[in-house]
């Protein structure tokens, strides 16, 4: 089910349709995990990975490594092109929670994902419009209610222990592991009244902010190259240029 989701998202992104991406996101979450009793969804997870769990027990292992999904590449757009539809946000990670994702099918299946609660410390460039519709899936109740300055990020991956075995789902090929109390600059789409942030280009659109330096391991991606070559990876220089651009747009 996850593979189908990533293929669908990849195809939509290749078409450049942000609003279609929103529609694609809704489909798999018609049965939100938050509405399913914990024992039941852990049971679904156990059934789905029963062979892996039993094999680990026989071998005396304490964990099962589940490889992450493979994301299709997205178009490599310039910062100017991206900011036509996306915002530029500096966020700080304040909490995280790993949950079990229940897919919708005749035979229930489950997977693991991690939610991150972030504070939007600064909006360097606002997106044109933020939808005020309610999300069609449950948000982690521990994170609610969200303050106006708070939002969520979600990534495939995380660790859930079932029957004494840690099921470790690795992040997808273009996913991000965010660190608590750290700051990140994200070229992303604020959705559902600002309750969810979706990075525009996967890992390449997320920069770790360290001492006002913008760090990324995606050195060959167009956006990352532009941030380094044009601004020297300096947050202050990028901010000044974006503010100048906003004044020109008024």
Rounded to whole angstroms, the Cα distance separating 172 from 10 reads 13
pLDDT at 246: 80
Please state the domain extents for the chain. 2-249
Which pLDDT tens digit goes with each residue over 78-135? Answer: 999 999 999 999 999 999 999 888 776 666 667 899 999 999 999 999 998 888 888 8
Q: What pLDDT sits at residue 14?
A: 37
Residue that is written with structure tokens 């600002």 in the block? 194
Q: Say what percent of the chain tops pLDDT 90.
A: 55
CA angle 28, 31, 33 (to 5 degrees): 100
Q: pTM for this structure?
A: 0.81
What is the side-by-side strand order in the sheet with 158-162?
63-66, 165-169, 158-162
C-alpha–C-alpha distance, residues 9 and 27, integer Å: 11
d(CA 220, CA 204): 9
CATH code that applies to domain 2-249: 2.40.50.120
Measured in degrees and rounded to the nearest 5, phi and psi for residue 178 equal: -95, 145
Which stretch of 14-28, 29-43, 94-108, 235-249 has the lowest confidence by average pLDDT? 14-28
């Amino acid at each position: 089910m996850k593979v189908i989701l990533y293929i669908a998202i990849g195809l939509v992104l290749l078409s450049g349709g942000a609003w279609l991406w929103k529609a694609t996101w809704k489909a798999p979450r018609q049965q939100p995990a938050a509405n399913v009793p914990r024992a039941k969804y852990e049971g679904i997870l156990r059934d789905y990975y029963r062979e892996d769990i039993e094999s680990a027990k026989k071998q005396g292992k304490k964990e099962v490594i589940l490889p992450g999904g493979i994301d299709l590449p997205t178009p490599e757009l310039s910062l100017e092109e991206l900011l036509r539809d996306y915002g530029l946000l500096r966020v700080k990670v304040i909490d995280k929670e790993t949950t079990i994702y229940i897919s919708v099918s005749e035979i229930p299946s489950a997977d693991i994902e991690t939610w991150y609660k972030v504070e939007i410390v600064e909006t360097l460039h606002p997106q044109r419009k933020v939808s005020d519709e309610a999300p069609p899936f449950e948000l982690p109740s521990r994170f609610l209610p969200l303050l106006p300055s708070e939002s969520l990020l979600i990534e495939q991956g995380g660790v859930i222990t079932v029957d004494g075995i840690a099921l470790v789902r690795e992040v997808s090929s273009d996913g991000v592991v965010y660190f608590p109390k750290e700051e990140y600059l994200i070229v992303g789409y604020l959705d559902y009244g600002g309750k969810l942030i979706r990075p525009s280009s996967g890992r390449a659109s997320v920069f770790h902010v360290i001492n006002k330096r913008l760090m990324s391991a995606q050195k060959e991606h167009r956006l990352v190259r532009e941030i380094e070559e044009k601004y020297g990876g300096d947050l202050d220089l990028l901010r000044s240029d974006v503010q100048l651009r906003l004044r020109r747009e008024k």
